[in-house]
Amino acid sequence: MTSVISVADIAQHEGQEVAVKGWLTHKTGKGKLLFLRVRDGSGFVQAVLFRPSVGDEAFSRAKKLTQESSLILTGKVKKDQRAPGIPGGYELDVSGIEVVQIAEPFPITPKEHGVDFLLDRRHLWLRSRRQWAILRIRATVIREMRNWLDGNGFVLVDTPILTPSAAEGTTTLFETDFHGTPAFLTQSGQLYNEANIFAFGKVYCFGPTFRAERSKTRRHLQEFWMLEPEVAFAHLEDLMEIEEQLVSHVVQFVLVHHAKELALLERGTEKLERVLPPFPRLSYDDAVEMLHAGGFPDFKWGDDFGSPHETYLTEQFDKPVFVHHFPSEAKAFYMEPEPGRPEVCRSADLLAPEGYGEIIGGSERMSDPEKLLAAIRQHNLPEEAYDWYLDLRRYGSVPHGGFGLGVERTLAWICKLPHVRETIPYPRLLDRFYP
RNA sequence: UCCUCGGUAGCUCAAUUGGCAGAGCGACCGGCUGUUAACCGGUUGGUUGUAGGUUCGAGUCCUACCCGAGGAGCCA
């Protein structure tokens, strides 16, 4: 009996009679020759049928196959330079063909399509090679971020998705109903992470995050995935070291293990190869000076960077760059002010190069209960909702901090995609959440 | 919420000053022993986003609305 193989492992089966179970992505022929390209989930392979070899009956059955028809092919694995596919270089010399289903006409053809058309058919679009490559890299990025943290003493501590209040009062929340009480989908697990470090020292949470912003840009999703580490006894400098180690590990791992996918995406690797610690550190003050010198003379100290500013700054470096010590006014209430200079806070964003901008936002947190209470009052936040948060500063408070890494933005950069919508299987965009 | 652009065949697009609604691809039929988004010949293709208006005549001009894209603000 012939064994079923994964196309990814085809090189290990040269000369063997094997079976491949999958779907037809492409069919082309030349008289008595028929080329079938088949996807099995692990890769893409070309199968060749020669009419005199397989017989007229099997040959005409194969000729009737439509795009996305499901089938089981048996045949001998042959090495051939001309064979396209992933990994490629090997093809299946078909001896038998079992048709599982003849597919109805598939709407997504190998030709060009518009974004609207494709997003309406995201459930089918996922089958295309490009999406396959991106989402495999996504799986690796998520796994390796977690592997790195798990291997460096961090404990995964899950934080709730249904929450009673905002972490930061500013952004828009998705509201839902918790048995008669208003509840909100989480925008961050940070506040809970801050509680968890007192039990576990170094923690992280990883999960979906919801932002009901009326944002329509290439960098925004209504639902995205965020990795949020938080560390006890950590200062801003410690956080930046963790961030550059983590990001470098993930990028270098992808370069080694997903060369085929990056090539398929036509993502050049030279710039990614430079992503190694240390990353340059740029103070907000210096960043403002760079902007003034670089064509943004009107930029006012105290403003947050807009998209063109971020793009300009990242273009000045060939690696991700930290911008630290932002004005306190522009940042969230819980960030620790710089001692002796309270107008800036101990915060740092990590900006990805090539115009991708912010992929990480982080800070050292206020650890003093009096200062934190004053900040909550100054921001007109409901004191009672933060009572448990203030507790954390009453029972063994320590300097601590953490950051949030946006998975989709990181992926868009690594894959060099023009928009984050392709980095998540089912993107939730403004006014679009089908399918 | 604001600014800009767009909606024509299944898909991607064209249509000159307001004057016969077209092409490529797909699909279907036929041909070809090495195709890489094959190629060659043939067939098939339309409520021009919706509702009004101007006009002898509207895909084209006007009004309102619907849908989408890019950007701003805000953020990861």
Domain spans of chain A? Answer: 3-101, 122-423
Would you state the pLDDT for residue A170? 45
For the stretch A112-138, pLDDT in tens is 888 889 998 999 999 999 999 999 999
- Is nucleic acid strand B under 7 Å from A306's C-beta? yes
Question: Following CA atoms A29, A45, A82, A54 in sequence, which dihedral angle do they give, to the nearest 10 degrees?
Answer: -50
The pairing of strands A341-345 and A223-232 is: unpaired
CATH 3.20.20.140 fits A122-423, yes or no: no
Q: How far is the CA of A73 from the C1' of B39 (A)?
A: 27
Q: How far is the CA of A74 from the C1' of B33 (A)?
A: 21
Would you state the pLDDT for residue A171? 57
Backbone dihedral angles phi then psi of residue A139, each to the nearest 5 degrees: -60, -40
Handedness of CA A177, A178, A183, A186 (dihedral sign): negative
Q: How far is the CA of A105 from the C1' of B8 (A)?
A: 23
- Report the SS3 class of residue A22: strand
CA–CA dist A242, A43 (Å, integer): 35
- Is nucleic acid strand B under 7 Å from A307's C-beta? yes
- Contact criterion met (CB below 8 Å) for A285 and A246: no
- Is nucleic acid strand B under 7 Å from A60's C-beta? no
Would you state the pLDDT for residue A175? 84
CA–CA dist A313, A212 (Å, integer): 28
Instruction: Extract the tokens encoding A239.
Output: 């956080």
Would you state the pLDDT for residue A435? 84
- Is nucleic acid strand B under 7 Å from A219's C-beta? yes
- What residues of chain A score a pLDDT lower than 50? 167, 170
Give chain B positions with protein CB within 7 A. 1-2, 10-13, 24-28, 31-38, 67-76
- Is nucleic acid strand B under 7 Å from A77's C-beta? no
Would you state the pLDDT for residue A173? 84
ipTM score of the complex? 0.88
- A33: nt with nearest C1' to CA: B33
CATH topology of domain A3-101: OB fold (Dihydrolipoamide Acetyltransferase, E2P) (2.40.50)
